[in-house]
Amino acid sequence: GENVEQHPSTLSVQEGDSAVIKCTYSDSASNYFPWYKQELGKRPQLIIDIRSNVGEKKDQRIAVTLNKTAKHFSLHITETQPEDSAVYFCAARPYSGGGADGLTFGKGTHLIIQP
């Protein structure tokens, strides 16, 4: 089955700086890669996703890049703000003959924005 590795487990950056979180996946059949943000005590919320036919996607201060050959994808947050502090999860979803399967998540990155 799919295996997703996520690094780092904790990331502390100064407010206004950029943050980068990296994930690798193992199953070449995976074709969908979402990123979720989870604040303490709240549900995971989708912040951006990318499909395997695209190399990069941007949404304001957030961007995701995908390298299918190397099987890795990254989340980039620019001009970080205090409200960006949360745990971020990457995920991969394989596509089997019967349709898309469940999400396999990385272990999460605790992003801390220092004022």
> Which residues of this protein are in contact with other proteins, per CB under 8 A?
1, 32, 34, 36, 42-46, 49, 89, 91, 96, 98-108
**Least separation, in Å, of the C-beta of 50 and other proteins?**
11
Place of tokens 């272990």: 107
**Least separation, in Å, of the C-beta of 34 and other proteins?**
6
**Least separation, in Å, of the C-beta of 66 and other proteins?**
16
Nearest to 34 by CA among 44, 42, 20: 44
Q: Which is nearer to other proteins, 47 or 80 (CB)?
A: 47
Q: Which is nearer to other proteins, 50 or 113 (CB)?
A: 50
Q: Cα–Cα distances in Å, from 27 out to 1, 71, 90, 95?
A: 7, 8, 15, 10
Q: Which is nearer to other proteins, 103 or 113 (CB)?
A: 103
Cβ pair 90, 2 in contact under 8 A:
no
All residues at 6 or more sequence positions from 40 whose CB lies less than 8 Å from its CB, including other chains: 86
Q: Which is nearer to other proteins, 98 or 115 (CB)?
A: 98
